Chain A
Amino acid sequence: MDGVSLLLVAVIVTALAFDFTNGFHDTANSMATSIATGALAPRVAVVIAGVLNLAGAFLSTTVAKTISGGIVNDTKVSLTMIFAGLLGAILWNMLTWLAGLPSSSSHALFGGLIGAVWVGAGTSAVRFGQVVEKIVLPAVISPAVACVAALLATYLAYVITRRAPRGSVNRAYRTGQIGSASLVALAHGTNDAQKTMGVITLALISAGVLGQGADPPWWVILSAGLAISLGTYAGGWRIIRTMGKGLTDIESPQGFTAETTATTVILTSSHMGFPLSTTQVCAGGILGAGLGRKLAEIRWGIAGRIAVSWVLTLPAAAAVGGTSAWLAGHGTAGLVLAAGGALAAVGGMYALSRRHPVDAKNVNEVPGEAQQDQTDDLMA
C-alpha cells in the first residue's frame, strides 16, 4: 500500500470514529429530557434515537458539496489536513464528554479543520468572515432564541393546564415529548451523518478514487449511518445526565416544551438555510424550560461551565487540529505519531471515565447525589 492510500484509509477510519463520537455526544439532545421525565426508559430511549439516526442518514438525499461549508478555502485542503482536523474534533469531543459537557460536535469539526488548514495552508486559507457568519453568530443567537421560546411556552403550558388533573396532564406531555424528541433524533441523523459522508466522499474525490462531483458510494452512506447510530446507541450518559438532571430538574411539561422548541428552531432555521448547532439549541431550550416554571432551580454553575465549553470548542479543537497538521506534515512518521498520540489520549480519557462511570442505571441521579448514594450503599 503506498503513502496516499494509507492516508486515505486513515482519513476514512478517523472520519467514522468522529461520526461515532458525534453520535454519543448528541444522544442527549434528543433523549436527555425524555429520560429525565421518565417518558422513556434509558435503554429504550437510546435504541429509538439510534434507529432514527440511522433512518435519518438514509433519508438525506443531498450530501454536502464542501467539507467546511465555505469556512476554509476547500481547494487548499489536503487529505493530511482533513485527518488532522478530525483528530482535533475527536479529542475535544472526548474531553467534553468526560466532563459531561454538551458542546457542539459540528463546531469541534470546524475548529479542527480551521486549525489544520491554518497550519497547513496559511492564514489566507481560513475565511474569518465566514467563521463569524456561520459559527459565532448562530452560536450566540440560536440558544438565546430557543431559551426565550421555551421560557414563554413553558410558562403558558403551566398556566393553561393548572386546573387539569396533574397525572393525566403529565402523561399527555410525556407522550407528546416522545414525538418531538424523535423528530430531533431524525433531523440529527440527516444533518450530522451527512457531514461525515461529505468528508469521506470529498477525501475519495481528492485521492482520485471517485470522479469530481460524484455521489457517495453505498458503503459510505451505510458506514456513516451505522457509525452515528451505534454512537448514539452507546449513549453519552455523562452528557445526558448534565442535560436531563444537572442544568435543572425537568418535569413532564418542561420536557415537552424543551424538545418541541428544539425541533422547531432546528427545522425552521435549516429550512431557511441558516446553520446552527443542535446541541446549543437543545441546551438553550432546556434552560428556558427551567426558567419558565416558577420556582424551578437553575444550576447556574453548570450553565456557566457549558457556556465556557462552547467558547473554548473552536480554539481548542483548532489547537489540536493545528498541532496534528504540523506533526503530520513531517512525513509518515509524524502522521503515525499524531495518530498514536490521539489514540493514547482517547484511551486515557476512557480509562478516566471508568473511575466514575455513568450509565443507563445511574443516569437520572443528580451529580453529587450520586456519590451520596454510593456512600449510603457502603453504610448499609
Chain B
Amino acid sequence: MHIDWHGLVVVCVVSLALVTLLVVVFSLGIVALARSQGPRMNGTGRSSAVQPLARATAFLCFALCAALGGYGIHLIVSHSP
C-alpha cells in the first residue's frame, strides 16, 4: 500500500486556497456592484467619482471568477482518468 500523503496535502491546500479566493473575489465583486448602483452610499458628492471605479472593480472580480470557471470547464474536457 502506497499512500501519497504529499499529494493529498497539496490537494487539500490548493482546494482550500482556491475556494477562499473564488468566494472572496466574488463577494467583493458583489459589494462593488452594489456600491456602483447605490447612488448615495456615502451621502457626499464623492459618489460620482466612486461609481466608475466600483463598476470596474466589480467587472474585474466577476471576470476573474468567470476565468476560473472557464479553466474548470477546460479541466473537465481534457480530464483523462
Q: How many A-B residue pairs have CB under 8 A?
A: 132
How many chain-A residues does the 8 Å CB contact rule pick out?
Answer: 58
Q: Are B30 and A161 neighbours in the complex by a CB distance under 8 Å?
A: yes
Q: Are A145 and B15 neighbours in the complex by a CB distance under 8 Å?
A: yes
Alpha-carbon distance between A269 and B13 when the two chains are bound, in angstroms: 11
> B28 contacts which of A152, A160, A265, A268 (Cβ < 8 Å)?
A160
CB distance from A306 to the nearest CB of B (A): 21
Chain B CB within 8 A of A263 CB = yes
Chain A CB within 8 A of B18 CB = yes
> A62 contacts which of B20, B37, B81 (Cβ < 8 Å)?
B81
Chain A CB within 8 A of B76 CB = yes
How many chain-B residues does the 8 Å CB contact rule pick out?
Answer: 39
Alpha-carbon distance between A158 and B24 when the two chains are bound, in angstroms: 10
When each residue 118-161 of chain A gets 1 if its CB lies under 8 Å from chain B and 0 otherwise, what string results? 00000000000110110001000100011011101110110011
CB distance from A62 to the nearest CB of B (A): 4
Chain A residues in 8 Å Cβ range of B72: 183, 263-264, 267
Alpha-carbon distance between A146 and B65 when the two chains are bound, in angstroms: 19
Chain A residues in 8 Å Cβ range of B31: 160-161, 163-164
User: Given contacts A157-B27, A169-B34, A183-B73, are A141 and B8 in contact (CB under 8 A)?
Assistant: yes
User: Which residue of A is nearest B34, CB measured?
Assistant: A164
Residues of B within 8 A of A (CB): 1-3, 7-8, 10-12, 14-16, 18-20, 22-24, 26-31, 33-35, 37-38, 65, 69, 72-73, 75-81
Residues of A within 8 A of B (CB): 56, 59-62, 64-65, 69, 129-130, 132-133, 137, 141, 145-146, 148-150, 152-154, 156-157, 160-161, 163-165, 168-169, 172-173, 176, 179-180, 183, 186-187, 190-191, 194, 253, 256-257, 260-261, 263-265, 267-274
Q: Enumerate 7 A-B pairs (CB-CB under 8 Å) in ascending A order.
A: A61-B77, A146-B15, A152-B19, A156-B27, A169-B34, A176-B65, A269-B15
